[in-house]
Amino acid sequence: MTSPIFVALDTPDLDRAKAIATSVKGHVGGIKLGLEFFSANGRAGVREMAALGLPIFLDLKLHDIPNTVAKAVQALRPLKPAILTIHAAGGRAMMEDAKAAAPEGTKVIAVTVLTSLDGTDLESIGLDANPHAQVERLTLLARQAGLDGVVCSGNEVKAARKLWPKGFFVVPGVRPADGSTGDQKRVVTPRAALDAGASILVIGRPITQATNPGVAARAIEATL
C-alpha cells in the first residue's frame, strides 16, 4: 500500500525541496507544495518537483469569487496535481466552479478550519467558537458542492467522516508523540489521525527539519 504520508515542503528553496523529496521518496506517498514554495518557484518549480516521480499535493488554499477561483484552477490544469486545496469558506458556488475547472484525476479538497485556529480565534472573526461545529458545517457544504473531500484537524476527522463516509480526508497538524507542536494548536499523532479516519497525513517539520529526513519519515511510517 502507498504510504498515507505527504511531506510538507514549506520552503522557497527549490534545491532544498528536491533534496528532501529525494531523501524521503521511498517512505512517503507524495509531497505537499504550499504558498511559500509556489510564490518563490511558480509552475516551473512544481514541474521540477513532479519530475521526481511523487504525487503532488498543491496546497494553495484558493479563496476568492467563484469566477476568479475557477480561472486560477484552469491556469493550474497543465500541472495535473493529485490534490488541490480551496477554502470551504468561499461558499458553495466557488467550490462547485473550482471542481468543474479542475483536471480529471485531481482531487479538489476544501479547507474547513485551519489547524492554527482555536475557539478564541474563531470568535474573534465572528464565527461559532466551537471549531468542531464549524468543521461539520463546512464538510457538509463541501459534500453538497461535489468536492472530493476536506482538510480538517485530527480532532474533527472522525465526526467529518461520519457525515461523509466516502469522503477524502486530509489531516494536517500531525506530530509524532515526541514532536514539537510549532504554530499548530490542534494536533494529533499520525496513528491516532489514521484511526480516526484520515485518508492522508500531512507532516512537515518532524521530517523536513530532521538531520536525516529519510530516516525520520521511515520512523513515522513504522508507527502506522
Residues in the chain: 224
- Contact at 8 Å (CB) between 10 and 38? no
Is 158 catalytic? The answer is no
Catalytic residue among 25, 61, 80, 158: 61
β-strands 5-8, 168-171: how paired?
Answer: unpaired
Residue with cell string 527539519: 209
Residue holding cell 490544469? 77
Pairing of β 5-8 and β 200-203: parallel
Distance CA 58, CA 162 (A): 26
Q: Name residue, grid cell 523529496.
A: 21
Question: For the chain, what is the largest distance between any 2 Cα atoms, rounded to a whole number of angstroms?
Answer: 45
Amino acid occupying residue 5: I
Give counts: helices (H), strands (E), the chain: 10, 8
Backbone angle region of 168, left / alpha / beta, with phi > 0 → left and psi within -120 to 50 → alpha: beta
Q: Which residues are catalytic?
A: 61
